[in-house]
Structures are given as C-alpha cells and as structure tokens.
Structure 1
Amino acid sequence: MAHKYKDKESGVVLTFGGQWVSWTHTALAYSAFLSALFIGVALHYHKIVENEWFSYPQEWFPSVSATIGDRYPERSIFMLFIAITSGPRFALVGLFYLLTARPGHVLPKAVAISGVVRTLTCGGWTYITSTDDHNWHDILMISYLVFTIPWTAGCLALSPPNAKAIKYRKWLAGAFFGTLVPLIYFFIQHKVHRIPGAYTIYAFFEWALILFDVGFDAVTALDFNTFEVVIRDVKGASKGVNTSSVPTAVLEKEKETATASVFATGYHLGDALNIASDVYHGFVFWSILTSLGVVIWYFPLWHMGISGYEALVMSTISPALLGMKPLRSLVIRNQRVTHLLSLTGLLAYLVTDPVYRLFTVGFGVWMGCLGWAATFYSDSAHPARLEARILAWTIGLLMSSVAKFAWYTNNPIWPIMHAENGGWNGTGLALAVLAALRFTRRASMQADNTTDKSGSALLPALGLGGMLFALHSLLSDTSTMILWVWDGYPIRGPVSNVHAWYTIAAMTGGLLIGVYRPGAVASWTAYGIGSTGAAMLTLYSEWFGYYGALILTTYLMAVSLPIIGNAAKKSPATTFGLGFFIYNFLVLFHVWVVAYAFVPGGPLVREHTDWVMITTMLLIGAGVFDIISQKPSSRKKVVERRRASAWGHRRYHVGVLGALNVLFLCANFLRFPTNDYKPYHEKDRLFTAGIWTIHFSLDNDMWSSEYRMRDLIKEMEVDVIGLLESDLQRVIMGNRDTTQFLAEDLGMYVDYGPGPNKHTWGAALLSKFPILNSTHHLLPSPVGELAPAIHATLDVYGTLVDVFVFHSGQEEDPEDRRLQSEYLAKLMGSSPRPSVLLSYLVTRPLDGNYNNYVSDVSGMHDVDPSDWDRWCEYILFKGLRRTGYARVSRSTITDTELQVAKFVVPKTELEGAVARHLGADLRNKQVQEHEVAPGWRFPAIFKGEGVRGHRYHVFDEPRYYNY
C-alpha cells in the first residue's frame, strides 16, 4: 500500500499520487483543443473550414490552426485552458527528471531542458497565431517540433523498466512521427496542387498529431504512481528498483529494442563533441572537393574552349604519393598538419585573382585527399575506429547536401561565395580549424604492417572510383536527381523545394543499413537492387524515375561503408590514388557527353549519360566482387568485430543524422512555396518579358551571381524571363540550380527546362503567371551541340499566352542552325495564341535564318526590327500589344546583356485581332516616353549612369511604341 502522510506532526496537509499530474495535464490539454473544436463547429463552421483555395462543401473539416486561432470565443477558451495546462506541463517535466536523474548522467538533464523549451515554444505558437504573426507562429511551431524529437527519444531512452509504459510510448511515438508523412503529403496536395478536399484530409492528420502528442505525455502516469506529492519516492523507482513483475533484464532488453540500442549506454559531452567535429571535418572535405569543379569551370567558360587549367582536376590523385614508404610514414605521423593544410581550400575566398584562387583550392583538395586517404589507411587496423572515420566522411557529404539546400544549392563556405552573396566563409573556416584539431586528436594507428596482402588492390580501386563519382555527381545536391526526372508542367513528379527531403531520408537510411546490416549490403542481391534503381533513374522520368533515384541513393550510401573499408586495408597508393584517378575520368566523361563540341573525341560520347551510368555501376560492381570473393570466415570475423566494438560511436552518429534531418526539414519548411506570385502591373494588364544568358551563374570575378541577378530582375520589374546557359547540375559546375533561388526570392513559377540528363547547356523559364503547361524540345543538331527549347502556356490575366524559350546552336554549325530555325518556326506557327519568343538565335537582324524565325510560317514579329546591334538575343511576339523595349547593360555579372520588352494583353478578341493584323508601319511606330501611360514605362533608375553598373545602353534609353 502507498503510505499516507496526513498527520500534523509530519507537516503534510495534502498528498496525492504523482500520476494525477499526468492525468490533469492530459485532461486540460485535450479540453483546450476539443472545446475549441466543438465551439468553432457550432458557431463558425463555414468560416473555419474555408481556406485560401476552397470552402464548404469541398472542405468540410477544420484544421487545428483555423480552429484555435481566428474566432471568438473559441480562441479565448482555448487559450484559457492552455494557460491552466502550463502548470501540470512543467510539473510533468520536473517529475520525469526526478524519476530518471542519476549522478554523472547528462541525458536526463538534456531531456528535461528539451521538455522545458518544448513547453515554452508550445505556448508561443498557441498564443501567437498565424493570423497575429505568420512568421513567428511558424518559427515557434518548427521549434516545438524540433524539441519534440529529443523529448520523445529521451523519454524512450530513460523510460523506467515498465513494460506497459514502454509499449505505449513506442506505439504513440511511432504514430506521431508516422503521421507526419501523410500530413506533409496532403499539405502539398493542397498548397501546391490545389486539390479540393486535400486540406480536410490534412486537418484529420493534424488533429491526430495533437492526440498522439498529448497521449505520449499521458503515459507518464504509469511511471508517476511511484511518486507521492510531497514528493517522496514510495516504491524506489527513482533508485532504479524494478516495481514490475517482469524481470528487469527483459524490460531493459525491450527498451533497447525500442530505441535500436542507440541509448544503450550513457552519453558524454566530450564524445559528442568529438563525433560532431569529425562530421564537420568530413563536411569541410566535401565542401572543398565540390568547389574545385566550379573554379575550374570558370576558365574554359571564359576561354570558350580548353584553357589548360582543367589539369587541376588531377589535384585529387595525391594519395598516389603514399606508395613511397618514407613519405607514407611522414604523412601518417603528421596527419594533423596534413588536415590543417587542406583548409587552405576554405581560405581561397580571400584570394581575389581567379587564377590564384583556383590554385589555392587545388592545393586544399590535394592535401585533403592525401590526409583522408592516410587516415583511412592508418585506422584500418581498428575496425570500430575505421567505421567512425567512414561515417564522419559520408555524413559529411549528407551535411554538405543539407547546407546546399538551405543556401539554395550553393555551399556557404565555397570560394565562389562571400558576404555579399550569402557566404559564411569566416565562420565556416573558424569551425573547420577547431574541427580539424579535434579530428586529429588521437595518435595514428600506424597501419603500415596491417596491409592486406591477399588479392589485388585494383578491384577495390575500381569500386572506390565508381562510388566516389556516384556520390559526388548524384548526391552532393538534393535537387540533382529531381531535375533528372523533371518533365515540365503540369507537375507530375517531385520538385526540389518540396520533396528534396526524400533524398536525405534515403541517404540516412542507406547509412543505417550499411552500419547495422553490413553483410546484406555487400551482396549481389543488393547490387542488383541498386543497379535497378540506376536504370529506373536513367530511363524514366517523373515519380517512377525518382523512385529509382531513391533506391540508388540508399544503395550508394550503404555500400560506401564496405567499399571504403575494404579499400583502406589495401595499398593506399593504388586504392585511393588510382581510385581518385578513375573518379576524375568519370568527371570528365560526364562533362564530355554535353561538351563534345569543345573536346577532342567528344562526338564519340555525345549524349551518352547512359554510358556514364553503366560505367559507374560496373566499377562499383568490381568493388563488390572483391569483397564477396574474400574468404567467408574472414568477412564474418570483420563483421563480428565491428558489431561488438562499434556501439560507442554509433549512437552519436545516429544522433548527428537525426539532427541533420531535423535541420533539413526546418529549411524545407522555410522554403516551402507560398504561391503568392503577383505581377508588377496587374491593373494595366501589362507584363514585362526578358531574355538573359546568365553564363552559368559565375560573374567575371568568379563569384556566384544569383544575388546580383535577382536585384536587376526585380528592379527591372520583369514578370516573365527566359534564362539560358542555366543547367549547372554537373560536378564541374557544382551541381547547382540558380533558378531555385531566383524563383523563390522573386515569387515566380519556374520551369527548369530540359534536365541535366538531356545533354544541353540549359534553358529555363521563370514567370509571375501560372504555368499551365510546358513541353521541352531538343531541336535538330546533327553536328553541333543540342539546342534546348521550352514551349510554355501561361495564364496571363485570364488569357492564355504561349512563351517560347530557345537557345540556338553554335556559329560553327550553320546547318544545325538552319534546321533549328525551321523547327522552331513551325512550332511557333502551330500556336494560335498570343506568343512571345525569348531566345538566343545566333543570326544578324533581317538576314539569313532570321527570316525563318520572323516569317509567315511562325507568325512572329521582331520586337524592334530597327535594332541592328544584335547577334544573339532576340525577343519576338504575336497577338500582343507591345509598348516598350530596352537593353540593359550587364555590369560584370555575365557576358550578355538583359533584353526586356513590355506587352499589354488584349482584353477582347477584337483587340487581339487588331494586334495580329496591324501593319508593320503602325506597329513599329515609336513614341516618346511621356506619351505612354506611367504604368507602361521602364524604371527610371537605370537612366544615365544607372546603378551598380547597370544602365540602358545602345539606345541610351528605352524605346516606346504607339501600339
């Protein structure tokens, strides 16, 4: 029986069981939400089921936010109950800490802190509704969800040996996090695809989250019956005594199963900092390596051919030096120096001269590859330590992908970044120095005598080279494979700022499989599954192709552990030196399939991304074959040693993976599309269209140019713009996507155009108006490079307008350009709608192929036939009222100006007919600026000297037309 202390001598006036804290919290929390729901349905049903797109009867159940945040009196009653709930909530957190606290254990304190912060943020998002302040409501809501993760995991880890409590916690935690998947899915269906009824289904899952969340905390009632408030432990559970009839060992085993043994032993802050430093050092390596291609690409880009600087791609083969035993011993004994010297790659942003900046990055890559190869080789004598190094390196890749997503596909510590374009170079460098010092804190294992002499090092080198290339080319950015399967509007597949987390989840899952099921990964079955995923990604588009991408992602991350582990035991000069050489060959191979016009022998591999994928998988297969061909007893022994000794670091690495996933989801939430896209001159039914060749988003001084492009496009009030030379999804270009930043920052829809597996230099379309449909075209190119085109239909003020974005072939291939002009003329002529062409035509005005583009076949008119000073960029139109045309100097952003034209959409069929049949003399008659409406004029800030090097040029001012 529980003791009762109600006598006056003890000083106790009132006692009650600790479980009543849980029951009170549960009752008040449910009362807050359910009372608001019942009152809201009774008083304001049609109001609270209505959302931004639909109302009753398409939507018929209210969301949590609409129920608790918008109406009186339900909002007031909800807030009253939530205020009363706060007391039991803090008491619940405090009692759980008292129940689980042990001398010298940090985890109970960390869980208690997360519980307190979680409670405070709960008050924040419930009292500051989205109606009051949307941004703070979202920030506090995200914070609440973030701190729910350590609270949930901590409660599972610290759960007393109570079978029923453990079971309920497992079920409720699984239900809570499992509900997030359909919740996000139906929110996307509502927000992005605007499907009627999707928000109602989303609302059910949102309410389910509330029920599961409160229910999870209610389980503490099963633990708190050991407490009696005053507070006195009457059953000894806080001392670790088992109060259940089930043996303690059985309960502890069940708890380990529930938490995947991640929390099997205590946590230590020093160990956590060690693992965090190791992972950050891995992130730094990938940041420097992925930056090398970008700074190399700058030179052939501006030389329009091979520059000679491409030789620095071989900076990665430095591990070949480890073939010399004295040098190998020197590097292994001085790994701290080697790794610190690799950080010069981060210092490169301070070097203004592009040539010297390239050499600085090249030196950083040289030392980084040398240092990591020596580290893997040295630590191969200790399986657990080697596994920790491999995990730090692979999770570093995942961290790089997370950082690139948060920075719109740029890495904030790249040498093409600085403070002016969003770089965090100084902060990243300071952390990198601290991480490198901690990474090299332990003496090397001196593995010179542990090299595996059996078998050849060639197969491990082949496998390592293929695996390195696959990780870099496909997984260094979450949008790369999404753009492989992108096929235009209407959206029928994943999009980068909504679904990219699926790639991160697959990377995470792959690593966990590689750690916990190493035997299953290094098998022909797993290789077959990975190869199937590669085939699906290569051959199919939309969701089916992306499913293949996720399969391949999981396999690549899983197989990286055994492949690197096997390579580390062989001669490092062969496995890592030759491995990086093979990686370099594949990097060049996958550039040549599109750059075939500029390299010797390029036509032999033109348009053969499939060959690149086949070669990559065959190389990985060679590495798998070497692992499988080893003696079964030796493989089993290695696996057993890893399983027995690796728990110490694994729980920290799993924690880092969880934290990175949470950070990614936070960035994902902040980047979620708002669909609040408004043109600049809606009242005038006017839109401004532009064409710009952005030169792969590198300016004349080798800085990433997205911010500067954004500023000019915004200040020119461009509503629809075509971007050319915009496909950056290759190793040599950094696996970037400029259109993501521009579209989200400017509030525009975006069509990336033909994807990176379509072998073009890229054509993209950004629009303030909804893109109803878009089709991608690869125009005839029998000799030269492929010419991409987008044919999109926009909803412009209720009128369907076709927009064509097109990049013609090179000057050296006249037959290609003729065939392309005829193809595009027929394509434009097939549209009966008002149309605009935003293009790069490589022809002189009024001459040659120009007369195919501007012809009776196409029905298109030149925006200004009198503009004689053009060669590449042209704007053509039909069925619209053109009111203005301007050319704006580029400053140092790119090598091509921005051309823009203003059009008014006809209100009636009669207006449209007049626009179509107006004679050339009337159509091209120019007027003065003061003769057109103020809303039709171009911004005045670019007149004269302009701003930031941008001004109206050639004509020195915009041109305006009377019709």
Structure 2
Amino acid sequence: MAPRHRDGDVVASVSGKWVSWVHTVVAYAAFLGALIVGVALHYKKIVQNEHYGYPQEWFPSVSATIGDRYPERSVFQVFIAITSGPRFALVALWYLLTARPGTTLPKFVAGVGIFRTLTCGGWTYVTSTDDHKWHDIFMISYLVATLPWTLGCLALSPRNPAAVKYRKILAGAFFGTLIPLVYFFIQHKVHKVPGAYTIYAFFEWSLVLLDVAFDAVTAMDFEGFELVVKDVKGTSRGNNKMVVDAVLEKEKDKQVDQVFSLRFSWPDALDAAADVYNGFVFWSILTSLGVLVWYFPLWQMGLSGWEAIIMSTVSPVSLSIGPLRRFVIQNIRWMHLLSLTGLLAYLVKSPEYRLLSVGFAVCMSCLSWAATFYTERSQPARMEARISAFGLGLMASTIAKFAFWTNNPIWPVVHAQNGGWNKTGLALAILAVLRSTRRTASSGGEAPSPRAKKGSSALAGLGLAGLFFAMHSLLSDSSTMILWVWEGYPVRGPLAVPHGSYTIFAMGVGLLIGLFYTDFARSWTFFGIGSVAAAVLTTYSNWFGYYGALILAAYIMALIPVLITSAVRHSPATTFGLGFLVYNILVLAHVWIVAYAFVPGGFLMREHTDYVMTVTMLCMGAGVFSAQASEPNNARKSTNPTARKQRGYYIYVLVALQLLSASIAYLRFPSYNYTPYHKDEKLVTAGIWTIHFSLDNDMWTSERRMRDAIKELEIDVIGLLESDLQRIIMGNRDTTQYIAEDLGMYVDYGPGPNKHTWGSALLSKFPIVNSTHHLLPSPVGELAPAIHATLDMYGELVDVFVFHSGQEEDVEDRRLQSEYLARLMRSSPRPSILLSYLVTKPNEGNYNTYVGEKSGMRDIDPSDWDRWCEYILYKGLKRTGYARVSRGTITDTEIQASLSPTPPLLNMSAFQNLVSCAAVRILGKFAVGEPEGSDTLIAEEQVPHGRRFPALFRGEGVRGHRYHVFDEPQYFE
C-alpha cells in the first residue's frame, strides 16, 4: 500500500487553531483599524448622513468607515487582503474536519464558505462610491450566503459541547441583531429620526463582530489538527522536528438532524423543485382568473355574465364518475399539461377568448391537483411531497409578486412590454410537469381501511373551502394584510417593502409547523390562536393588527398538510368539489362587501369583512373537526429514511425561497431621496387620475404606461382613484408600488381593503408629514374615501386632499359628502389642493359647496365648463397653469362601449358620466410661497420656460395622450 505521506524532514509545524486565531485577529484589525483611523481623521464627515450630522449622529456606520475616505479605506483593504489567506485555509480545514463518505452537506458548506470569501472581496474592493450597484450585489450575496454557512456549521459541528454552545449563542445573537438593525434603519430612512442612524451603526458593527466571532470558534475544533511543512528532498536547513501524523477520527455516532443526514441527490432535488414549480403554476393560473373576470363587469358597469367562469374551479366534482376518475388518474400528466393553456393565454388578443382559455386552464388545474392528491393518498411520503409543493407553490407565487411589484410575471394580463416573463414561465412549466409526473401512481392508490376513522366528508370539504379562500385572499400577495392595517403617516405599522418578507417568513414557519408538528397544527388550541389572530387583524391597525396577520399566516399554512390529508380520505368529488364551490361563494362575498351597489341583495353584505372572516375561520374549524375525527396516517412517513430524505429537499426549497424573499426586500428598499421636477422654480405640478383598477382597454395591466405618462407630464403630486386592487377578483395587486418606486415618490395607499371602498391613493415627490383617512357619509351608496395629507413642499406645509365622491344616483350621499369635505377643507389653516372626483357640473348643485365660502377653496379654472367628475381646487397658492390630457387607451375599459353596441346591463347615464370624467387627466401647476393671483389668462410666451407644461403633448401628442378640450394648456397671471 502506498504511504499516506511522503517521507522527509519536518521543516515546521503549527497547530490548526492558529489559522482561526490569525483570521480573527487580522479581520478585527481591518475593521477596527479603519474605525480608529476614520474617527481620528474624518470624524464629522463619516458620521454625516443624508439627513443629519454631528451632534445628532455621533457614531459612524461600517460602510461610511471602510468605503468612503482615504486612508481608512486603504487600511481596511490591506488587512482584508491579508485575511483572505487564513480565510480560505479556515474553510478548507472545516471541510477536512467534517467531510464524511456518502454525504454532500460538507461540500455544500465549503462551497458556500468560498463563495462568501469571494463576495467579501467584491464589496470590499468595489465600494458604493465606485459602483453602487455591484457593491450591493456583492454585499447581498455575502449576507444571503451567511444563513446556509451558519446553519451548515451548526449541523456539522463535531462533538465539542463548548464549541457548539458558543456557535449557538453567536448565531442567535447575529440573527437576533437583524431585527433592531432593520427597525432603526427604517427609523432613519423613512421617519428621519435624529440619532437613529447612530443606533443602527452600533447594531451594524455588532453584526461584523459577531460574524467574525462565529468563525473564531473553529479554533476549539482545529486543536486536533497540525499543519506540517516537510522537506522531501533534503534541501532545507531547518531543524528536524518530531510530529504526530494523525487526523481526526470519524465520529460515527455524531447526532445530526435526520432530515439532512442522508446522501444528497441532485435528481431528487430537481424532483422537489419541479413539484414546487408545478404548485407555483397552479397558484399563478388560479390567481389570474379573477383579474380577467373583473375586466367585464368594469366594462359593463354591472354583472356581465362572464362572472360564471369562476365556477370552473369546481371541476373536481366530475371525479364522482368512476370511468372519468380512472381516466384522469391514468393520464395525470396530460391533465397537467392541458392546464398550461393558462400560460399560453397571453397570446390571445381577444379578452373574451383569453378569459375562456384561462377558465379552461383553471378547470384542468383544479381537476389535476385534486386527482393527484387522491392518487397519492396511500403513499404518505409522496402525499407529503405533493402537499409541500402545493404550499411552497403559493409562497413562490407570492415571492414572484413581491419581486414584480404585485404582478405575477406569468399572468395572461402581462407580456414582454409590461414586465411579463411568459415564455420563460411556460418553458419551465412544461419541463416541471414532465419531470414531476414521471413517478405518479396510476392506480389510484390503496383506499384506507374500511374500519379507519375518516371524519365527515362535508366538513372536510368546508375545511378546504376556508383554507383555499384564506390562502388566496390573504396570502397570495405579501402586501395585502399590510394594507389592511395601514393608517397613513407618520408610519406606525409595517410597510409593503420590506415587511412583506415578514409575511412570507411567517408562511414558511407555518408550513414547517404543519409538517413537523401535525398534532399541534390540528389542535383546537392552535385553532383558537388562529381565530384570535384573525380577529386582531380584522379589528386593529398598525403593528398590533399586523402581529395578528403574521400569526394568522402561520396558522393558515400549518393547516395545509392537516386538511388536505384529511380530505383525501374521502371522495375527491365531495371534498374538493364542495371545497371549491364554497370557496367561490366566499370569493363573491368578499367582493360584494364593496360592490353591494351593483349586485342583487348586495345590502346584506355591505361593509361586512367581519362576516367573511368569521365564515372563513368557521370553515377551517369544520375541517379541523373532521381531521381530528380521522386516524393519523404518518407512522410510515416518520420512520421511513427515504421520506425523511425527501422532506429535506423541500426544506431546502423553503430556505431558498426565504433567502430570495429577503434579497428582494433589500433590493426594493426605497431610497427616500426624492426630488421634485422643478425645485429651482419651487413649482408643484399636481394631477388627478381615475385609473380604473389598472386594466387598460385590451385587458393588460397598465402600471408601466401610467408610469410613462406621469413621468413625461412631470407630475410631482398625483391622486389616483379606483386604485384598491387588494381582492381576489382584482388580483391582490397594488399599482402604487411600481409607480412610486420607479419614479421616486412617497405613497399613501389610502383607506385599506378592509375599509370597503374602491380606493384612493396619493403619490408625492414631497415628504408626507402626516395623513389621515376618511370615509365620508354614505347612507345609501358606495363608500366615499378621502385622504387628507400634509406635505412638506420646499419647506412649507401644504395640505392635499384626494377624494372620490359617490355615484350620481345617490343624491343625498353626495350632498352629505360635499358638506363633510367642505368643513374638512375649511378647517385647514394651510395652503391646500383638492384632487377630486366630484360628480357635479360647474357652478351647479354641490359645486357651490365645494367651491366658495363654505370650503374656502377656489376652482383651478372656472371657465372649464366641460367637466363632470374630475376637479382640482386650491387655496393659498399661486396657480400658474391648468391642462387636461386625454387618456389614450390606458385606463378606461368602459370607453370601448362608446365604440360598440351598448351592453344590455349597462347603466347608460352612469356610462356617459364615466366617459366624461375618465376621458382626461386634470393637471394644475402651483407656485409655493406666492399669493393666489387672479383668473386672468396669459399667453404661453409670457410664462417662464420652467413653469410651462411639456410640449410633448401638443398636437397629436404621444401614444394617444394629448392636451384635450382646450387643445393647449391654460396659464394664469
């Protein structure tokens, strides 16, 4: 046998622990050396941030210390370069210490360690000053890799109680520090709290110290290693030394989490990824159906008949037919492939046929998944895999919407021009179906024992109804429940970014509870906790309400394994068919609480979110009752090594999704350094736009086209009406996120989805100092939302009101609303602007309440006789210009009706009014700090260039947008 080491004289030897000590000392020297030099030479400069300097801020952040100035930057870079050698050696020694035959985890952890070292060099030598984008990419990559490195080191730790203890303490402190770190960063960035960045800096430095200290613990493990240099040719003049040629013995009985103890298999990992992607496709297709259906009642201003397509979800009822059930089960791959027509639907131009295509896809998808669950019912391991894929698919869909500003990139209402990834999504879906269905059982599986307790099939079906509705209505977008608890500025609760990642994290925790702690997940104790959380979310706002949302999210996800496992013990036609039928009723109910004015018997559901939430929880409770009456079927699953191994791959996917979510939250975090278009002239361009739920005439989402128009019109402050899309039928979307982030604007969403309005929102280049939300008197008709916001415009506080009044038919509602708003505007002592939808003619009726002594407000252009809905009023500001811009094809689905026969259910008077007020966007220009001025019109030549409207929209304009009615802007003296 060949010798393990070549013979030769020992030149030098050193204990392996010194690799850890050198790494620790040099790394600390890099950071602390830069801190000492920076404080000594540039103290006041490195504590300065975009809001405050010394003395409000008195301790520098890590980034300001190591990357902004010479020579501290050079000190840091030199020592970090020296650290790289011990760092690579540390990773190598850790791999040698933990490597075992037949295991892949040590290799994975070593690869992560190398990746972290390389990305550390990236953000070290590419500073934010050099290239902010690449600095952030390297930094995010490093932080993301920290989680698997930390968890991997904990999982592979040798039997050294002291080392394990310190690793747990340091890892817990590291991740625990992230919470106050994010909190104080938001206090600094969003609330501009003096001194908040100093506290943030302390936590940031703590992360650095804890990160290095975690790796320093390896010194306790490396004591058994000795690094030896041998002279095998006799060329050395060094002294011979005796060393022990030994390596650390394998620890055969070491305790490692059973889930990760078996050999890693890439084919099995691909199977898990394919399963989860199929779940993602299911939820993408299902969540797209409501958006397409919603287009038609918008077009007809009432029930259109196309709403019946939502019943396509009840297709599992057909599985009651024996031959058909056997056919579906034996051809499950083809059923899944047929469901992919929903991803091809974006190629269909006709809205009607596109809806029919998606309806067929939903039919096939619900049928396929019900049959898949039923087929796997006798195979607990495969059953858990499908359930995990179903839950993780929802998480993947939610994360995709988190990344794409609440639009799913494979929906049929998006395409390449407005942010769609349809071709990529379809190609991956085909591959995923082909892979995940290659081992599906074709016999239908063994039925449970006739003597086994199965509970009630009807209650199991109700449980699925509540579960599916809760998943879809509350968890299909990470911002939905955040907007439920939103109450305006100053911020007193969560924000869609970054706190949407908190919702996603809670979803992951809930799914793990359902998989690992099934008995607790199906207990009445947990149901009680979930019910209390639902009540808290429904009745409270701000952070307290959101805490209820997080607990409810975890509870809903924990029920997925419990309720589906219980349901498959019965006929899928009963459980899944009934489940989707009641789910559809709940979908309609949670729309009718807002749309009560347009549907028969709508008054019964008016403003009753509490009813819908109560029924949802009762349905899930019925499912829990049935599940408790069933015998658990997890004995084989818990003892089968293959099942434990398979579970591990889905947990890997879950961890990857959580890391992706955190990365998206970091990348999307707003800068809050917004600048008005004409700051030198102290000019404000304000506008009002009824965006009609962000669907254009051809059934495409319109955020990007809206963004272009707002940008080209140089609008600083804009009110958006009919903007609440946080319902199943509207896709659980939020148009304001994309526009605000892309254009650099603060946003107030207005009254949330649980306030039962069609929505009002405010976007502003100026900081929103304070905002309150109002629901104006509406005894008969739909609720009228209003926002009263105070903005900091060039150092002067200006009030902005955004308001949507009731319909023409509700005369008394509109009168009461006009009086309420007039009093509200009159009470403001500050300069004010009203951006509104008033439903009145100039100089008639309620117009004289909105304009005049009762309100203290002036009309921006009393000579504009051709108005019915959209108005801009003002006081205490100099009005310099006024314009109306045609809508093109962006927002008005009902404008199509004027080009085609009148639909039979269309209210003609309401339609004419909508065409009148939705045809244009109303714009006004104001000069801050100047007296109001007169109504005298002046020629454009007399107006300074900085105060003029963009010439781009003159004549034929651009993309269907042009100055309208007057064919040119109006300017005032």
> Residue 844 of structure 2 aligns to a residue in which SS?
coil
Residue number in structure 1 paired with 2:868? 871
Distance 1:60 1:331, change over 3 A: same
Contact 1:691 1:898 survives alignment (8 Å): no
2:690 corresponds to which residue? 693
SS at match of 1:221: helix
> Which residue is 2:250 aligned to?
241
Distance across 1 between alignment mates of 2:559 and 2:928: 59
2:933 is aligned with 1:947? no
The 1-side partners of 2:227 and 2:838 are apart by: 82
Distance (Å, rounded) in 1 between the aligned partners of 2:735 and 2:229 = 60
> How many angstroms apart in 1 are the aligned matches of 2:926 and 2:717?
13
Q: Equivalent residue of 1:790, what SS? A: strand
After the TM superposition, which residues 101-112 of structure 1 pair with which residues of structure 2 at under 5 Å, given as runs?
101-112=99-110
**2:594 matched residue in structure 1:** 594
1:622 maps to which residue? 622
Pick aligned residue for 2:341 from 331, 340, 344: 344
TM-score, scaled relative to structure 2: 0.93
Q: Give SS of 1:13's match.
A: strand
In structure 2, distance between residues paired with 1:629 and 1:677: 58
Once structures 1 and 2 are overlaid, which stretch shifts more, 726-735 or 345-354? 345-354
* 1:468 to partner: Cα distance: 0.6
Contact 2:717–2:763 (8 Å) recurs in 1: yes
What residue in structure 1 maps to residue 239 of structure 2?
none
Q: Secondary structure of the equivalent of 2:687?
A: strand
Q: Match for residue 923 of structure 2? A: 901
| Structure 1 counterpart of 2:250, one-letter code | V
Amino acid at match of 2:925: F
Describe how 1:806-817 pairs up with structure 2 within 5 A: 806-817=803-814
CA distance in 2, matches of 1:876, 1:547: 40
Contact 1:863 1:901 in 2 (8 A): no
- Secondary structure of 2:11's partner? coil
- Contact 1:720-1:766 at 8 Å conserved across structures: yes
Please say which of residues 444-453 and 173-182 is displaced more in the overlay.
444-453
Give the aligned residue type for 1:657: L
Residue 835 of structure 2: SS of its match in structure 1? Answer: strand
Pick the aligned partner of 1:719 from 692, 716, 721: 716
Contact 2:839–2:868 at 8 Å: present in 1 too?
yes
1:219-618 aligned at under 5 Å gives the runs 219-230=217-228, 237=247, 240-242=249-251, 249=253, 252-253=254-255, 255-256=256-257, 261-444=258-441, 446-447=443-444, 449-450=446-447, 454-618=454-618
- Structure-2 change in CA distance of 1:689 and 1:116 (3 Å): same
- Which residue matches 2:127? 129
SS in 1 for 2:202: helix
Q: CA deviation at 1:605?
A: 0.9
Q: What do the CA deviations read for 1:456-478 (whole angstroms, capped 9, x no partner)?
A: 31000011101110110000001
Alpha-carbon distance, 1:628 to partner? 2.1
Match of 2:946 among 893, 915, 935: 935
State the shift of 1:374 in Å: 0.4
Greater mean alpha carbon deviation, residues 128-137 or residues 925-934? 128-137
Do residues 824 (structure 1) and 821 (structure 2) align?
yes
Q: Which amino acid aligns with 1:475?
A: L
Deviations 1:825-856 (A, max 9, x none): 22212222211111111112222221221121
Which of 157, 172, 196 is residue 194 of structure 2 equivalent to? 196
Count, aligned residues? 929
Given that 2:377 and 2:445 are in contact with CA atoms closer than 8 Å, whether structure 1 keeps it comes out as no
Deviation at 1:12, TM superposition (A): 4.1
Does the 8 A contact of 1:688 with 1:900 survive in 2? Answer: no
SS in 2 for 1:682: coil
Q: Report the counterpart of residue 92 of structure 1 in structure 2.
A: 90
Report if the CA contact (8 A) 1:697-1:726 is conserved.
yes
Shift of 1:166: 2.9
Q: CA–CA distance in 1 between the matches of 2:921 and 2:798?
A: 19
1:745-894 aligned at under 5 Å gives the runs: 745-894=742-891
Against the structure 1 CA distance between its residues 236 and 273, is the aligned structure 2 distance closer, same or farther, given a 3 Å change threshold? farther
Deviation at 1:102, TM superposition (A): 4.1
What is the one-letter code of the residue matched to 2:110? A
Give 1:821 shift: 1.5
Q: Which residue of 1 aligns with 2:909?
A: none
Q: Say whether the 8 Å CA contact 1:514–1:557 is kept in structure 2.
A: yes
Deviations 1:890-945 (A, max 9, x none): 111012244343433443xxx44xx2xx6xxxx22111111111111000111111
Cα distance, 1:561 vs structure 2: 1.4
* Residue 652 of structure 1 pairs with residue 649 of structure 2: yes
CA contact (8 A) 2:377 2:446 kept: no
CA offset digits 1:638-675 (Å, max 9, x no partner): 24333223412221122111111111111111111111
Q: Which runs of 5+ in 2 are unaligned?
A: 231-242, 893-917
Corresponding letter in the other structure for 1:927:
I
**8 A Cα contact 1:519 1:639, kept in partner:** no
The answer to whether the 8 Å contact 1:381/1:445 transfers is: no
Cα drift, residue 192 of structure 1: 1.2
Q: Tell me the distance in 2 between the aligned counterparts of 1:812 and 1:902.
A: 29
CA distance in 2, matches of 1:576, 1:153: 39
Letter in 1 for 2:884: R
Partners of 1:305 and 1:904 lie apart in 2 by 39
Q: Does 1:684 align with 2:681?
A: yes
Deviation at 1:448, TM superposition (A): 5.8
In structure 2, the partner of 1:214 is 212
1:106 CA drift (Å): 3.0
Between the aligned partners of 2:444 and 2:247, the Cα distance in structure 1 is 49
User: With structure 1 as the length reference, what TM-score do the two structures score?
Assistant: 0.94
The structure with higher relative contact order (CA 8 Å, sep 6+) is: 2
Letter matched to residue 605 of structure 1: M
Deviation, structure 1 residue 813: 1.6
Q: Structure 1 residues 906, 724: CA separation in 2 closer, same or farther (over 3 Å shift)?
A: closer
Q: Is the 8 A contact 1:586 1:612 kept in 2?
A: yes
Q: 1:245 maps to which residue? A: none
Match runs of 1:158-177 below 5 Å = 158-177=156-175
Alpha carbon RMSD of aligned pairs, Å? 1.9
Distance 1:792 1:581 in 2: 43
The amino acid that maps onto 1:305 is: G
* Code of the aligned partner of 2:301: M
SS across alignment from 1:500: helix
Task: Give distance in 2, aligned partners of 1:734 and 1:158.
Answer: 44
Counterpart residue number, 2:16: 18
CA contact 1:105–1:267 (8 Å) conserved in 2: yes
Instruction: Provide the secondary structure at the position in 1 that maps to 2:273.
Output: helix
Secondary structure of 1:681's aligned partner: coil
Do 1:710 and 1:742's aligned partners in 2 also have CA atoms closer than 8 Å? yes
| Residue in structure 2 matched with residue 64 of structure 1 by the alignment | 62
Q: What's the CA shift string for 1:607-626, capped at 9, x where partnerless?
A: 11110001111111111111
Q: CA deviation at 1:480?
A: 0.4
Does 771-780 or 40-49 show the bigger shift? 40-49
CA deviations 1:28-67 (Å, max 9, x no partner) are: 1111111112222222222222222222232222211111
Offset at 1:818? 1.7
**Higher mean C-alpha deviation, range 418-427 or range 844-853:** 844-853
Other structure's SS at 2:790 match:
strand
Q: Which amino acid aligns with 2:935?
A: N
Name the counterpart of 1:45.
Answer: 43
Using the alignment, how far apart are the partners of 1:708 and 1:715 within structure 2? 11
For 2:636 and 2:710, the matched residues in 1 are separated by 59
- Aligned partners of 2:277 and 2:432 also within 8 Å: yes
Q: 1:736 to 1:767 in 2, by over 3 A?
A: same
Q: How far has the Cα of 1:219 moved from its partner?
A: 2.5
Q: Which amino acid aligns with 1:380?
A: R
